[in-house]
Every structure is written in structure tokens, then in C-alpha cells.
A and B are shown apart, each in its own frame.
Chain A
């Protein structure tokens, strides 16, 4: 399957490991990624916070570029980019809004393709059995809290992916990789998003609660699919610890890193050493002899009936 790839700006900086591991797992799973040539920033939170038409124009430029590629589907790893791209596409179904966007662009926008997350394509194009069959190194011993954050599932009308209160796609994926998934009620709570830049208090508290709960439920790591969530939970973990008056020391992986690890990919494709809270002790313990191994992996009860909702075309 050929995918037009929108990496997003953070993939060139703070989430380099997400970009690199995404490319590696896609290759390993048989998806061909081609970067959208000369892609530009979607405007991120500042764009849509200031003006929907401005955000729409910044996103539309990229979708228009993607529409000229012969790809089966447009994808991005970043939920924040995806939210902007999807909102632009959906809002532009209204001719009045499209006119406002077109006024800002050199040329009127053509019909735009629907963008998807890399995660959605993986979990909808491949069955969990197919993925499990490719696992070379089961993630036994990892107790994972799956943290989805806001943007991947909300607002549901626009994102059209998984259950917006209790998503299961990452849970099911991690179970297929042999990890134990702990029940985690804060799956879709907000981490404080980009407000951390100007208001440390809000982000430290909200992220701190997520980490505290993950620990209380027995997780030894958290998995994320969002560069902003990952940064708040990992790079800013020390601020969260300060706000909550306790130590967490929880490694925060991108799901692509754990998927790559289970598929037996090389560390150069996973870039584990980019994580601020070091995962090395935990990963080393996975290689330890059998008696240290955790009980059989199991997901939350609702696993079965959530796995096949929604569909990427």
C-alpha cells in the first residue's frame, strides 16, 4: 500500500524518534511511505487558535500537494497535525468556508483527500493476528498504560476513529505484541497540551495526574501516539513530579518504538536513547530469564467489541 506521508514539524526536532520509528515499522509492515514534497507546517495549535481560515489554508496547501501524488491514502503520525488536516478538509465542505480559505491561497483548492493517522491505517489494514504473527520479540514483562490523549479521538465527528471515551486500538495492538496492558481510566484525559509553554502549572498538574494514575494501576511504562503528549509526560516529567510531590520514573514510549522492538528492528530504527526518562533498565529486564516474566497479557474487558470500529478507505 502506498501512503503519502506528512511528517509534521516536531518529527524534525522533539519527536525525531517517532518519525524514524514510524518510517521503520511501516517498511517492516509493508507500507510504502512517500513524503509529501515540500510540505509545510499545518499551523498547529497557534494556527487554529487564531483563525480557522488561516489554519485551513495552511493545511489545505499540504492536502492539495498530496492530491497530486498517486497514493492510496494520506497519513501523518501526529494527532495534532491530523486534527488540523481533518478539520480543514471537513470545514471546506462548506462553500462559504472554502471561499475564505481560497482567498488566502495562490490557487483555489482542488478536491482534497481524507487524511488518516498512521495508527489507524495499521490497525484497520492489518488484523491483530497478522501483527502477532510478525512478532519476533514478545514484549513480556512490559506493563503498559495506553494513553491516547485528546486529539486522536476527539471531536468524534471529525476524527472518526475508535471509541472516543474508551479507545482500544493501542490496547489491542500492545496485547498482540505480547505486553500486558493495565486498565487505565485516564486514556483520553488532556495532558495540558501546549499550554505548558506559557503555564507550567496547568500542564504539570494535568500530566502529573496521568502519570500518577498509570503508576497506581501498575504500569511500568506509558505508550503514546502523540508528540505533544509524549513531550509533556517525558521531557516535562520532572516538572510533573515536582507538582505532585512524588517520583514517577516512567518511560514514555511511542507506540511505534514498541512495535518496532517487538518486530525485532534495530535500535537505530527505534532511537530509544532519545527518551528523556531512560527505558534501558526496563528493557534490559525484559531480556532477563523466565522467572521474572509477567503473567499472561490481557486487555480490558471491552477489547473484542471495539476492535473493528470505523474504517480507513
Chain B
């Protein structure tokens, strides 16, 4: 069992940062475990969602940001709906995930690559189209073969357009991404 030395590992500012960024009062979590009990991702997680909440509450930044669960969370909001203290737990997971990205904790690159492939497509065309996103994603990661197995069925049903629909306002959409990138750099 891993031992965490609280006096060394705690980062007292961390809880404040998470609360400010998520707009949620994590300090009200009393570890009832409701969020974990209903979490469909739980069986695939390395840290359960209530454990992550506790880690954030205690200021255990490594624990809260350096887990694989953040990247497996399905954003289903079951946890938020069932939390007796009305914490938007899914929102906290999302906040932790974006903090983990910013601070270089990215634990599961494939999902990150998929998101990037998707958003690049939006930035270029204003809309997405599945074939383009999948091709880009597979090029970046060399993964996604299980999706390719689905492609013939999708193709046969005419569900895989090969060209994106480009909207008139695509430059306007591209500017959203440009400003976002500038702000982050």
C-alpha cells in the first residue's frame, strides 16, 4: 500500500484553485460515496471519483491530477445528480482534467489526440465530419483499428461523408480557436 505523507504532499492552495475554477464547494464533500456507487466508469478507474474528491479536498495534487480516471470519465453526470451536497462532481472532474492537461499530467494521450483531431476539424470547417476526424486520429496515434472495423457498416449505410460541410462563417469559428490558443500560450 502506498503511503502518502500528508505534511509533505499537501498543497494548501490547490483546493482553493479547484474550487475557484470549478465554482464548486468541495469542502462540503463528506465522503458518502454516492458518486462512486453510481459511476459507470468506476470499474475501469485506478482512483474512484470519491477518492479523487477527497484528494482534491486535502490538497493532494499528485493524487488528484495524476490518475487515469480523469481521462476515462464519461461525463455522464450521474455523480452530480446524486451528490447529497449538490456538488457538480462531473464538473469538478472536468476541471481537474483541464488542470492536468495544463500542468503536463496527461495520462491518456489517445483520448487527447481524438479531441484535438475533432476540434481541428471544427476549426478548419466550422463543422465536423466523422471520416476526417477518424483518419486524423488514427494518423496521430496509430490506433483506432476497432473503429475501422465499424467503417464498412457505416459506409454501407451512407453514414460516412468523405467531405466536410464547410460553413460560410468558418473563419469566424477559426478565430475562436486562434484566440483560445493565444490566451493559453
Contact = CB atoms under 8 A, between A and B. Distances in A.
Interface stretch (B28-36, B58-66, B144-152): B144-152
Contacts of B97: 49
Nearest to A149: B76
A274 B159 CA distance: 8
A201 B177 CA distance: 32
B127 A193 contact: no
Interface in B76-131: 76-78, 80-81, 88, 90, 94, 97-98, 101, 108, 110-111, 114-116, 118-119, 122, 126-131
Interface in A114-155: 150-151, 154-155
A195 B159 contact: no
A169 interface: no
The main secondary structure of chain B at its interface with chain A is helix
A288 interface: no
A46 B161 CA distance: 20
Interface stretch (B7-15, B49-57, B168-176): B168-176
A16 B129 CA distance: 12
Contacts of A164: 81
A291 to B, nearest CB: 34
B97 to A, nearest CB: 7
Interface in A35-68: 38-41, 43-54, 57-58, 61
B143 to A, nearest CB: 7
Contacts of A41: 122, 126-128, 173
Nearest to A105: B176
Nearest to A87: B91
Contacts of B118: 44, 46
Nearest to B70: A49
Contact of A40 (B40, B78, B126, B179): B126
A106 B172 contact: yes
Contact of B183 (A52, A103, A151): A103
Contacts of B114: 46, 194, 197-198
Interface string A9-41: 110111110000000000000000000001111
Contacts of A236: 150
B122 A40 contact: yes
Nearest to B97: A49
Given A16-B159, A198-B114, A236-B150, A190 B40 contact: yes
Contacts of B159: 13-16, 235, 274
A198 B110 contact: yes
Interface string A231-261: 0000110010000000000000000000000
Contacts of B180: 51, 53-54, 57, 104
Given A41-B122, A43-B119, A235-B154, A12 B78 contact: no
A202 B44 contact: yes
B75 A14 contact: no
A43 to B, nearest CB: 7
A219 interface: no
B75 A49 contact: yes
Interface in A140-191: 150-151, 154-156, 164-165, 188-190
B81 A156 contact: yes
Contact of A198 (B144, B158, B167): B144
Nearest to B150: A235
A298 interface: no
A194 to B, nearest CB: 8
Given A40-B167, A276-B157, A193 B176 contact: no
Given A40-B127, A106-B175, 19 more contacts: A15-B159, A40-B173, A46-B114, A49-B98, A61-B173, A150-B77, A189-B40, A192-B40, A197-B137, A198-B110, A198-B143, A199-B72, A199-B110, A202-B41, A202-B44, A239-B146, A274-B158, A276-B153, A276-B157
Interface of A: 9-10, 12-16, 38-41, 43-54, 57-58, 61, 94, 103-106, 150-151, 154-156, 164-165, 188-190, 192-202, 206, 235-236, 239, 273-276
28 contacts: A9-B129, A13-B161, A40-B122, A40-B170, A41-B127, A45-B75, A46-B119, A47-B119, A49-B75, A50-B119, A51-B98, A51-B180, A54-B176, A57-B180, A61-B176, A104-B183, A150-B76, A151-B76, A154-B77, A165-B81, A190-B76, A193-B76, A195-B111, A197-B114, A197-B137, A199-B110, A235-B150, A274-B158
